[in-house]
Each structure stands twice: as structure tokens, then as C-alpha cells.
Structure 1
């Protein structure tokens, strides 16, 4: 592996100044939980789940750090077991002070470049609730930059959620990808 292959910043030049992409460490779990909570749009998982995520899925997760090393954004993702060349993006969150700088796009580019290099990658998937225009723009613009198609279908309808108040989750399948 070359230095450029190991360094997501070397693969994507759109990283906002003063920030860097890194793999998460377990100690980052609390910060990721706070960023997700403060987003006021994500389904907030337990703080325990963010700690586990940083331990068990660090290879498919990206954290943006400021100059002091503090997390200011993240993407959690995993490789689908039955589709080992498909990365499912679980959550994308950016600290309010960092929004509007292209950080989510830089994180997505850096993470997918890393996963493609380490494991091979043919597609990414994510779910988006209707009306989440920021996520819709993030993923459709990613597809455009990579010349990939976007297929959409409802993955989990409202009736599947036990509390009944959850909007449907629409699956966005982006591919085929080439790196």
C-alpha cells in the first residue's frame, strides 16, 4: 500500500482547510453521539452503540477532525454481509459550526475511496427519509460525480416501525462505481 492509498486526504482534495479525515477510535464514540444528537435530524442511537461502532466498524467509518484532533463530523457505514462490495452508509453528521463547508461530501469521498482501495467497492447504499433534502443532494451529487446511477425504493415503510411515528426510509442504491 502506498502512502496515498493509506491517506484519504491524498485521494480527495476537497477537504475543508484545517480539517482532516481519520478512522475513529473508541474514545470518539461520545463525540459522535453528541454530534448526532445535536444534528436534530438523525435517529439518535444509544451512546453505547456509538462506542461499539467506533470499535467494530472503524474500517468503514470516517471521522473529520479539527486542528486540535476533536471530531467535528462523521460517517458511519458497514459492508453488507451478503453484498461484500456494497457499503451501506448508516449516518452522516456534521457539527453545526462546520456545516456549509462541503465536509459531508469530503467525508463521503474519502471514506469510499478508502473502502474501495482496501476491499473493492461496486456500490453504496443509504436510506433517506422523504424531505431530507441535504442528504438527497449529498448522495445524488456523489452519484453524478462518479457517473453512477441512483435507484430508489422504499426499504422500510412507516408501518414497520413499532412507534408508528417514523417516516418511511427510502433506499438509495448508487452504482456501479469505478475507482
Structure 2
């Protein structure tokens, strides 16, 4: 065998490799939002010099770098005049704001309660807001409407498309 045929064979093999084989297109994934840990039967206590100000618990919780996600969330805020409790199917706690989703029941210790499907509670301002339909009641008084904005500290309620059922109280003389 001639040496020229050998080099011609090697050259043709290299040309075939060059044109027939494609390099692998490997993409790298970036995981920016990786959970730090996940636990069952979650309970978080927040304390200050006055005592317990926040209690949050749930069936399962996942802690990320900047937030908690909780299933079957039960959040209690005792930082203001009235104790406020919120329960929902799921929730996110991030930067002193609680995002609630699914079958939400907001209850205040004086008997005021509202129910909705999505709500946001800002712990710093004690304002609870909903964008959908809600039902608010206290005793036998009931309010139905849309887009509730409730300030727990100032006891101010703002809403749209409101229907109210109110029981007047008689004064005794």
C-alpha cells in the first residue's frame, strides 16, 4: 500500500467527521430560585420586646432565599390593637406581606370576619386587600362586594359594588 493512499484515507475520514458529526448543543441551566429547605408541620413565631407578634403555621412550608411558601396557611398578626387571623389553602410570606390564595377566612378578635378567594395582607400597614368577590360580616350584619380594602388599624373599609344587610339596634330610653 502506498503512503499517499494512507494519508488520503485519513484525510477523507477527517473530512467526513467534520461534515457528518455535529457537536452537542449543551445548555446550562441556572437555578436562581432554589429552595433552602422544606418542612412538614411548619410553625414560625416572631417575637419582639412586647412578646409574640406573629404566629404562622401550616401543613408544609418551603423556605426560599427571600420568602416562605406555606400550604394550609394559618397566619396570626398580634402587632396592632386587634388580633387578626387569616387562614387559606396556600400562602406566601415575603417582606412582611402575606399573599393568600384559596378559601380565605380573615377573622378579627372583635368578631369581624370576611371570606374571599385571593387576598394580600400588609403587616406594616395592617391593610388587607382582595380583588375578587368577598363576604364580610360581623354578628348579623353582612356585606357583599368586590375589591375590598380593609385597614385593621383605622377600621376603615373601602369596596365596590356593595350590597349590605344591616340590623338596626334600638336605643332604650
Give the TM-score normalised by structure 2.
Answer: 0.28
- More relative contact order in 1 or in 2 (CA 8 Å, sep 6+)? 1
Q: Name the one with the larger helix percent.
A: 1
Q: Name the one with the larger strand percent.
A: 2
Give the TM-score normalised by structure 1.
Answer: 0.27
Q: Which has the larger radius of gyration?
A: 2
